[in-house]
Structure 1
Amino acid sequence: MTSTPPDLVVVGYPQRLVADHRALLGAAEAAGFTAELVDPSRLGLAVVDGQVRGLVDGEPRTPHAVLPRGVNRPWPFVRQVCTAWARAGAVVLPTVAAADRCADKLETLARLAGCGVPVMPAVGVLPGPGTALGPLAATPVLVTKPARASKGRGVSAADAPTTHERLRTVLPLVDGHADHQVVQPRASGWGVDHRVVVADGRVVAMTRRTATPGDLVTNAPEARVADVLDPAGEEPGVTEIALAAAAALDLEFGGIDVIVDRGRAVVLEANAWPGLAAHVRGPAIARVLVGLVGRALARSGSPVDQVATAPRPPWTHAASAGGTWAATMAS
């Protein structure tokens, strides 16, 4: 048995996702970890004497396990620190490669389409005087969003001419140099979608998200979120599409956003760090995530003598099960 338990670092902003962080830290400590929430500003990367090392508070440190949470904007830097930690033997979950595929909405869609997973059509563009909409130029209503944004930031909907003009003139003026954008047709089922949380190839939670009347942004703070206890009662294909997407992205834990377009379920985007607080059963999902970390540490040979690596919870749902997790999730 190890003299000290493995340490787990949750990388996230203390003033955001407060309930998520509380649930994760509690689940980690209950499983036998020493757990700490680390603000991204405390991280550093030292490239000295031919070595690359991750830093916390200016000092070299390699945790046994790392859970990045809600770090979309600083991800280009955080990923470098996480990569250094992973190369030094830390378990980073999801993996840096999987998180990278989800950090850019355009890259996510391209990967999924290449793997045969149905997605909303999209055109990626860089705002400026030469921007062209290509195959979407005649689409009645287009949705535009920054490829690397989250929580509905920067999402707009307009007809094609208005969208084109905004991309050519307004965005470059507002942002100076705007990030690349994802342009998509508005889904026929706009205003309602599903967030499906997948862990280790199984669905562990599903929510139905509904935008405010007249809006289409379902992940805005004002949107209504309801737990789905019986996935069989939802639109056909939601669970199967989410599981296929997670597998194609090599995403051991993540959230897949599925929307209905012209009668079929398609992937809208994916999130490597889905929030837990929106779910009534956030602590249960946190325990699943920490359990994945424990199993990954066991596989890697890290000191996990004191860490509880619980088996898969009985309420998880695979695509072929066709059942409900209501009974045991309610506890």
Structure 2
Amino acid sequence: MNNGSHADAQIVIPRGVNRVFPFVSQWMKLMDKRGSVFPNSIESCEKSIDKLRTSIALVDEEIAVVPSSVALLTGFVPQYDGALVVKPAFGSGGLGIHSFPSADDPRIRGIANLSRNPDIPLYQHFLLQPMATGAGTDHRVVILNGRSIAATTRRARTGSFITNGPNANVEAGAPTGAITLAEQAAHALGLRFAGVDVIRNDDGFAVLDVNCWPGISMTEEVTSVDIASALIESLVQDFRVAHS
């Protein structure tokens, strides 16, 4: 909007707006009415913004996930065995993620109490998960139109389990099982474009996270796949069909 006028965008690719999605969804609805084309529908994005909702949606479709709980918001910590991970439901980039050796760690209770304090405004809830058996290594799979177009394996730096943080090691390629699961997850959520994080857990792979507007620069750099061009070309074709 500029001096009362507006310019309609034909193709719109949102980026990194998980925490303000209620605003973005209203904006997407407005642009949709004006004929703009998006990589994903509003409905499919809503399923993948909140990590808990994503997990529930995938479980409903019988897709393997890392178990999740938000019971700590009531002050009760689920008694998962072994080490635990606590993460913000709308987080990204590895920010705000913490690990604890067991459910008995008093620091987890501290997070629960923080979440219940009416004097501290929290704009998101926290998830608690058992530490995956493959923690420290995971696979980012970029999906476009139902299939993987690029995949990487990410390894956390020494002393960390966070694979998408600074100084993590990223290399091209991922196991076939991880890629297949990622494609199934994107399909289950109705996402045509997605970044799906898959981790080894117990005897197989499990979905760790799904992003409906993933960052692609690192994946492009490591794999030499021009993801941006492929996405734009696909959206241009959609726009032409919609307005033919």
Q: Which residue does 1:114 correspond to in 2?
A: 60
Question: Is 1:270 matched with 2:219?
Answer: no
Choose the corresponding residue for 2:76, options 132, 137, 150: 132
Change (3 A) 1:138 1:108: closer
Question: For residue 295 of structure 1, what is the aligned residue in structure 2?
Answer: 237
Alpha-carbon spacing, 1:282–1:106, altered in 2? closer, same or farther (3 Å): farther
Partner of 2:120: 176
User: What are the ranges of 5 or more consecutive residues in structure 2 without an aligned counterpart?
Assistant: none
> Whole-Å Cα distance in 2 between the matches of residues 68 and 205 of structure 1?
20
Shift of 1:141: 1.2
Judged with a 3 Å threshold, the aligned counterparts in structure 2 of structure 1 residues 188 and 283 are, in CA distance, closer, same or farther, namely closer
Contact 1:125–1:181 (CA<8 Å) still a contact in 2? no
- Residue 151 of structure 1 contacts residue 221 of structure 1 at CA under 8 Å; is this kept in 2? no
- DSSP 3-state at the match of 1:150: coil
Aligned to 1:82: 28
Query: Which ranges of structure 1 fall in alignment gaps of 5 or more residues?
Result: 1-54, 303-331
| CA separation of 1:120 and 1:273: change in aligned 2, threshold 3 A | same
Corresponding residue of 2:166: 221
Aligned to 1:156: 98
- 1:172-226 Cα offsets, whole Å, 9 max, x none, are 56x9133211111000000000000010011100011111112111111221211
CA spacing shift, 1:293–1:209, aligned 2, 3 Å: same
More helix by share: 2
Match of 2:200 in 1: 260
- Output the CA distance in 2 between the equivalents of 1:139 and 1:109: 20
Cα shift at 1:123: 0.6
Aligned mates of 2:217, 2:81 — CA distance in 1: 36
Identity of aligned residues (%): 32
Q: 1:165 to 1:57 in 2, by over 3 A?
A: farther
Alpha-carbon distance in 1 for matches of 2:51, 2:21: 14
- Residue in structure 1 matched with residue 189 of structure 2 by the alignment: 249
Q: Match for 1:198: what amino acid?
A: I
Q: Does 1:185 align with 2:130?
A: yes
How far off its partner does 1:170 sit? 4.4
Asked if residue 123 in structure 1 is aligned to residue 69 in structure 2, the reply is yes
Check conservation: 2:115, 2:125, Cα contact below 8 A.
no
Amino acid at match of 2:242: S
Q: Indicate whether 1:165 and 2:105 are aligned.
A: no
Task: Write the distance in 1 (CA, Å) between the matches of 2:90 and 2:79.
Answer: 23
Q: Is the 8 A contact 2:154 2:163 kept in 1?
A: yes
TM-score (norm 2): 0.89
Cα deviation for residue 138 of structure 1 reads 4.1
Aligned length in residues:
239
Q: Helix, strand or coil for the counterpart of 1:286?
A: helix
Quote the RMSD (CA, aligned, Å).
2.2
Distance in 1, Cα, partners of 2:44 & 2:104: 36
| One-letter amino acid of the structure 2 residue matched with residue 177 of structure 1 | P
How far did residue 100 of structure 1 move?
1.7
1:93 is displaced (CA, Å) by 1.5
Q: Which amino acid in the other structure matches residue 181 of structure 1? A: F
- Any idea what the Cα deviations from partners look like across 1:37-73, whole Å, max 9, x if unmatched? xxxxxxxxxxxxxxxxxx4686433311110012222
Taking structure 1 as reference, are residues 92 and 254 closer, same or farther at Cα in structure 2, changes over 3 Å only?
same
Deviation at 1:283, TM superposition (A): 6.3
Distance 1:57-1:288 versus aligned 2 partners, 3 A rule: farther
Check the 8 A contact 1:131/1:164 in 2, yes or no.
no
Partner letter of residue 220 of structure 1? Answer: G
* TM-score, structure 1 normalization: 0.67
Contact kept in structure 2, 1:125 and 1:180, CA below 8 Å: no
Matched-pair contact (CA < 8 Å) for 1:103–1:271? yes
